[in-house]
Amino acid sequence: DGWVMLRSPIQGPRRAAVAGGLVMVFGLVPANAVELAPELRLPGLDQVQPDIRRRPEPARNVTPRTRARPELAPLGARVRAFLLFTRVDLKLGYNDNLRADERPLSDLYRVLTPRLELRSDWSRHALKVGANLASARYRDFPREDYDNWRAFAEGRVDLGRASTVFGNASIARQQEDRAAPDSTLGVDPTRYRVTEIGAGWSHPFGRFEARLDGTVRDYRFDETDAAGLPAGTLLGEDRNRRSLRGEARLRYAMWPGYGVFLRGAYSTLDYDEPAPSGITRDSDGYEAGLGLDLELTDLIFGSAFVGYYRQRYDAPEFDDNGGLGFGADLYWNLTPLSTLHFEVRRSVQESIQPGASGYLSTDTGLELEHELLRNLLLVASSRYTRRRYDGIDRQETLWQHSFGANYLANRHLQLRLQVVHRRQDGTGGGRAFSQTFVEQSIVLQH
């Protein structure tokens, strides 16, 4: 959905910046399939797991969330050559502005989230399949209830000593965050289904590593009554779309801990129907960039990039959108138990606001991970986002602060707390609101 600068899909206890310059890669690439507004994402409290689409590598440059804790990790149940992991999260929360509106409505809610995941336990190749459900119920506003679900599969085939072919597929039923820029146009929460298929290939040769990726995403939105428009006006089908993206990347390892990479990408975005105004939102875009990943000892590591992007629209009413792309994703291990993470990115997102082709988002975040005890992890973050809409005189600024704690009692039980505060101001019709929510969770896993 649109374009967004992403961190690498490589995750785990090792530091990915050394393994291909991918912790933060340049580009305005399609957003995560379940994120229509990626600037609203919250820091995770789970231990980060390795991406099985990459070959395993030795641990290095660990942070509190990537540090292995084998004595607290679930063991799963063996099913032939696989391990089956099960988990249930029960979350209780309070939101003082559940619709992210200037006229706040508060409510209590509960969310039950069962999960299943089957992982291969092979010496070569890898496969992971899973499914999860998030069922939310509100005490006073049942129209906000939802039952989101997702099923996925991803895997890797090792070719020879170094080459890898990888892929993923998923289908999900989701609900758009009420704080997302386009969510205010619907009376009810915006619900949609997204299907994603991706494939790629990577191969190192000498000091170089080449990688090709391709992804197709298909979005289907439910119809909902439009707020502030004549009765019977429905929104949803005009947002149905399909995106296709291809990317090529080449990295050169200059010396241990340092590398440069070049990448280019091309994408298309096709809508099923024009907007209610009759304007088609179909577009295509390309990008090119140069990046550097670095490892200044075990204390400071990360990646930075600069490049150019351009998005071209079929409708003559919309001007082409292009400019300088830049970003950085840097980690600083203040102590063996504390890590400071700085991130800045620029992205172009889709918008259904009348007259706007989309919006340019500049997102800056600072995050602190701290291991207070071996089994008590604290995460605090602050994020600032500025949205500038193309084609209309509208801007929005968003501050988002959060604090989370995860207590790992044993292999089977976790207790969590998360507090989030958002404040948004807008001009030219941009929305303004203040929202705070508190959630506490019990996690049972095996």
pLDDT given at position 30: 30
The three-state secondary structure class of 402 is: strand
- Under 8 Å between Cβ of 287 and 28: yes
Q: Is the pLDDT of residue 6 over 80?
A: no
pLDDT-derived band at 28 (thresholds 50, 70, 90) equals: very low
Q: Is the pLDDT of residue 87 over 70?
A: yes
CA distances from 369 to 319, 372, 416, 436 (A): 42, 9, 15, 21
The three-state secondary structure class of 208 is: strand
Q: Is the pLDDT of residue 124 over 70?
A: yes
| DSSP string over 367-402 | EEEEEEETTEEEEEEEEEEEEEEESSS-EEEEEEEE
* pLDDT, mean of residues 294-320: 90
Phi, psi of 21 (to 5 degrees): 65, 40
CA 105 – CA 357 distance, rounded (Å)? 31
CA 18 – CA 86 distance, rounded (Å)? 33
* pLDDT, mean of residues 301-313: 92
- Under 8 Å between Cβ of 289 and 307: yes
Q: What angle do CA 123, 159, 19 make, to 5 degrees?
A: 80
pLDDT-derived band at 223 (thresholds 50, 70, 90) equals: confident
% of the chain surpassing 70 pLDDT: 89
Count of residues in the chain: 446
Three-class secondary structure assignment of 234-254: EECHHHCEEEEEEEEEEEEEE
pLDDT given at position 75: 94
Q: Residue 268: which of 287, 280, 281, 284 has the closest Cα?
A: 284
- Under 8 Å between Cβ of 39 and 383: yes
% of the chain surpassing 90 pLDDT: 63
Q: Is the pLDDT of residue 268 over 60?
A: yes
Of 84-98, 160-174, 342-356, 385-399, the least confident: 342-356
- Sorted by sequence, the CB contacts under 8 Å of residue 403 that are 6+ apart come out as 378, 379, 380, 418, 419
pLDDT given at position 391: 85
- Sorted by sequence, the CB contacts under 8 Å of residue 40 that are 6+ apart come out as 177, 179, 180, 400, 422
Token pair listed for 29: 């690439």
Highest-scoring range by mean pLDDT, 17-31, 104-118, 181-195: 104-118
CA 374 to chain centre: 27
pLDDT in tens, 130-158: 999 999 999 999 999 999 999 999 999 99
pLDDT given at position 7: 35
pLDDT in tens, 335-371: 999 999 999 998 888 888 888 888 888 999 999 999 9
**Residue linked to tokens 């019709």:** 429
Q: What angle do CA 386, 387, 388 make, to 5 degrees?
A: 120
Token pair listed for 287: 């990008």
pLDDT given at position 300: 92
**Residue linked to tokens 């070959």:** 55
Q: Is the pLDDT of residue 423 over 50?
A: yes
**Helical (H) or strand (E) element with 441:** strand 433-445
Q: Is 254 left (phi over 0), alpha (psi -120 to 50) or beta?
A: alpha
Q: For residue 393, count CB atoms less than 10 angstroms from its CB and return exposed for 0-12, middle for 13-18, buried for 19 or more.
A: exposed
The structural domains of the chain, ordered by start, are 38-445 (2.40.170)
pLDDT given at position 234: 62
CA distances from 194 to 24, 153, 173, 239 (A): 25, 14, 7, 12
pLDDT given at position 211: 96
- Under 8 Å between Cβ of 284 and 266: yes
- Under 8 Å between Cβ of 238 and 271: yes
Other CB atoms within 10 Å distance of the CB of residue 177: 16
Amino acid found at 159: L
pLDDT-derived band at 328 (thresholds 50, 70, 90) equals: very high
* pLDDT, mean of residues 254-276: 91
Computed over every residue of the chain, the mean pLDDT equals 87
| Most distant CA pair in the chain, distance | 65
pLDDT given at position 381: 97
* pLDDT, mean of residues 309-328: 89
Token pair listed for 84: 């089956």
- Under 8 Å between Cβ of 178 and 99: yes
